[in-house]
Structure 1
Amino acid sequence: MIKARVTVTLKNGVLDPQGKAIEGALGALGFDGIGQVRQGKVFDLQIESADKAKAEEDLKAMCEKLLANTVIENYSISFA
């Protein structure tokens, strides 16, 4: 079994209203000096395979087809 983490974030230049809202909320809570907050999402997956190369290939396909909107988002894959 292979454990993997996929991290999806907005590409640079894409507006991030949720990140801006978080940035404003942190300031309102008294956390000074916070800027350029960008939000994203994380997927932790367990893959029933012993072949890491095949698992990585499958994960890339999952990202391209479902987990990330590659027009506006980047993704990265890491293994535990």
Structure 2
Amino acid sequence: MPLFTTRVYVTLKPSVFDPQGRTIVESLHSLGYGGVAHVRQGKYFEVQVEAADAAAAEATVREVSGTLLANPVIESFRVDTPTPVA
């Protein structure tokens, strides 16, 4: 079965306060980057999965993301289109 790589981006939902993002903004302001108004932190995953095709790989990664990689109560996630591993 072919191997596919997919990128997953997990971020806090807009309604969830992001203290780490706020700390980053404050630090950037103290470093002279006053134009930075807002930062939201998140997580990045690269997942390799064996699947019959790209659609099956994406379905598996979406399931994994919703089950383990993201906390659906406070986070949302985005899955890129899987690419075959050369």
Aligned to 2:10: 8
CA RMSD of aligned residues (A): 1.1
Structure-1 separation of matches of 2:4 and 2:65:
17
Structure-2 separation of matches of 1:50 and 1:23:
44
Match of 2:53 among 51, 54, 61: 51
TM-score by length of 1: 0.91
Q: Structure 2 stretches of 5 or more lacking a match? A: none
Aligned residue pairs total 80
C-alpha distance after superposition, 1:28-49 (max 9, x if no partner): 1111211121010100112122
- 1:53 deviation in Å? 1.5
- Aligned pairs for 1:13-52 within 5 A: 13-52=15-54
> Identity over the aligned pairs, expressed in percent?
45
Aligned to 1:69: 71
TM-score by length of 2: 0.85
**Code of the aligned partner of 1:67:** L
**Code of the aligned partner of 2:6:** A
**Code of the aligned partner of 1:3:** T
